[in-house]
Amino acid sequence: MFVRAGVRTPTHNNCDNRAACGVMTEVRTDPTIAERVAASTPEPLARRVRGLSDRAIAWAFIGPTVGLLLAINIFPLLWTVYLSFTNYRANRPNEEILWIGTRNYERVLTDPDIWAAMQATAHFVVWTIVLQTVLGFGLAWLIDRKFRGSAFWTTIILIPMMLSSAVVGNFWKFLYQPQIGLFNYVVSFFTGIDPSSFDMIGSVTLAPWAIVIVDTWMWTPYVMLICLAGLRSIPDYIYEAAEVDRASPWRQFWSITLPMALPFIMLAVLFRGIENFKMFDLVVQLTGGGPGSITELTSINLKREAFEKWRTGYSSALAVILFVAVFGLANIYVKALNRVKQR
Partner 1 sequence: MSSVELQHISKRFPTVAALSDVSFTVRDHEFFVLLGPTGAGKTTTLRIIAALLKQDEGSVLFDGEAVDGLTPADRDVAFVFQQYSLYPTMTVYDNLAFPLRSPMRKTPEPEIKERVQHAAEILRITHLLDRKTARLSGGEMQRVSIGRAIVRQPRIFLMDEPLSNLDAKLRESLRVELQHMQKTQGNTTLFVTHDQIEALTMADRIAVLDHGRIIQIGAPADIYDRPATTFVATLVGTPRINLFTAARENGTYFVANSDLHLPMPGDRAMPQQVQVGLRPEDVKITPGGRFTGVVALTEPLGVETILHIRSGQQTLLSILPGITPLRRDDPVRFDILHERLHFFDVDGKRV
**CB nearer to partner 1: pick between 67 and 235:** 235
CB 258 within 8 A of CB 332: no
Which among 50-58, 59-67, 242-250, 293-301 is the span making contact with partner 1, rule CB under 8 A? 242-250
Q: How far is the CB of 137 from partner 1 (least distance, A)?
A: 17
DSSP lists the bridge partners of residue 86 as: 99
- The answer to whether residue 248 forms part of the interface with partner 1 (CB under 8 A) is yes
- The answer to whether residue 338 forms part of the interface with partner 1 (CB under 8 A) is no
Q: How far is the CB of 259 from partner 1 (least distance, A)?
A: 4
State whether the Cα torsion 166-172-176-180 is positive or negative: positive
Which listed residue (97, 116, 118, 256) binds partner 1 by CB under 8 A? 256
Q: How far is the CB of 256 from partner 1 (least distance, A)?
A: 6
Which listed residue (45, 238, 325, 332) binds partner 1 by CB under 8 A? 238
How far is 159 from 221, CA to CA, in rounded Å? 8
**CB nearer to partner 1: pick between 95 and 243:** 243
Q: How far is the CB of 337 from partner 1 (least distance, A)?
A: 14
**CB nearer to partner 1: pick between 182 and 260:** 260
CB 303 within 8 A of CB 297: no
Q: Under the rule (CB under 8 A), what is the footprint of partner 1?
A: 235, 237-238, 240-248, 251, 255-256, 259-260, 343
